[in-house]
Structure 1
Amino acid sequence: MTYAAARAAIGDSEFDRDTKAVGRAGEPGTYDIELSPGWVIVSAINGGYLLAVLGRALREALPHPDPITITAHYLTASAPGPAVIRTQTVRTGRSMSSGQASLFQRDEEGREVERLRVIAGYADLDAMPTEVRTAARPPDMPAWEECLDVHGGPESGVIPGSTALLDRLDLRLDPATAGWALGSPSGAGEMRGRLGLADGRDHDAISLLLAADALPPTALDLGLKGWTPTLELTVHVRSRPAPGPLRVAIRTRNLAGGLLEEDTEIWDSADRLVAQARQLARAPR
């Protein structure tokens, strides 16, 4: 089986519908959204989906279209259901603008709780200089049809809980980093895979925010099982991705104090490094 041609268009896909927030009349910079249960993994909504939700709201609030650098602090676990996003423009310039956004939900007692807070810089990727000087190289991994399909395989049941997120992704893992699915983690703390969206939608700058947190955690390759909640996630978007699936490579080099970092590179089908990310997560207990 080979990767299917795009079926859903950018702007008209499940991802677009589920990340769209509606502006409140009379309250500039404030948006309402229904967080979809389709992006839950284990027991909470995926952090990359949440980052895309706020990233899209900031795109509406700021004069520039594309996130260039965006950092999120995850304060409390978000749940499917209604939420409010409040954005603030911090600075606007000719080539870049900066803003911040927070997502709020109501708790069981009706009190408003801040779930995550983001600060970001936006620009126009099409107006950026085209020169590239890099020592980075695309990750070496098998062809699409030789990678491990996560749907229904043994890896899908390693962590108890919801795997709804996987139904929205077309994710194929590099077998060299999927030994944990068969009870033989390598211990190297690496995860690699080819990533598309299940409905065939091609990637754009906003979906790169999802891609930065879409693969299984490297904690599994370290032999650790359980939920690995993200505490902080920073994504640098370097270029608008070419059509087709992405290649995502993640590595953890240090687990200490119950925390681990993940360094991520995201490459497009044209062998360009289109995004980089780093996150700090709590190791499974």
Structure 2
Amino acid sequence: MDGFLLIDKAGGVTSHDVVAMARKKLDTKKVGHAGTLDPMATGVLVLGVGIATRLLTYITDGKKAYEATISLGKSTHTDDKDGDLIATAEVEDLSKISEAQIYAQIAKFVGQIKQRPSSVSAIKIDGKSAHARVRAGESVDIPARDITIYEINLSEIRNLKTAIEIDIEVICSAGTYIRAIARDLGEILKVGGHLTALRRTLVAPFTLDQCSAITKAELIPISTLVEKIFPIRKVDLAQAREISFGRTIEQNSQSGPVAALDNQDNFIALLENKLQGAQMVAAPIVVKGAEQ
């Protein structure tokens, strides 16, 4: 049983919960996901089943897109609405913030920037996730890292009695934390900020309109989606046999991982060029059936 599930994750459940549901639904233990979504977040969650779990890393590293709502005026220890309140701004300070200021500061996030992930992120510190360390009462300081924000579009600003709500759409690189944008914007404007809604609309190349609730999602064969992720190489019967034994074949015409399909368009393996002696060859790095 190999393939992908394209899930529109509901709020209130973890990514691991969705994986557990898929394992029960498909009666298999070999299920993984491409990119964690927080419990409050909804939207695109790509699951790999069987040998497709070995392909998830190539999806995780791609572009992401989100729709989010930031609330200015309060800070939480998780940088989102599920966290404990740690600071509240004066209403007078909020009233001094103009829409022009918000637009100007949001624009500064676009490009390659340094971002300090939230202390309750899934990032591992000495083998243990940051959020688990925080829950255990530890103080966690994660160094800033390079990320790229390709676009931020601000669609609406709402001035409420004790907060300013901002709706944004973000296209960004893997490793970007939208909660951190909310936190950092609040710090820049000196009123605090946190995330109140988050919906992921893209895990490249998969979009929200391709996704279904976990109860309705159907397993999609690897061969149906693989061309959206990798260049394709058709292999003949003799080449497929060599690959199945873990042997190399003639080099790929493209660099990087290439998906090998047989003449029935079945996924056979992932191939990558490597130097073998003085000769460049295509070596299998993932082979269907090799672990079954």
Query: Would the TM-score normalized by the shorter structure come out above 0.5?
Result: no
TM-score of the superposed pair, with normalisation by structure 2: 0.24
Considering fraction of residues, name the structure with more helix: 2
* Structure whose CA Rg is larger: 2
TM-score of the superposed pair, with normalisation by structure 1: 0.24
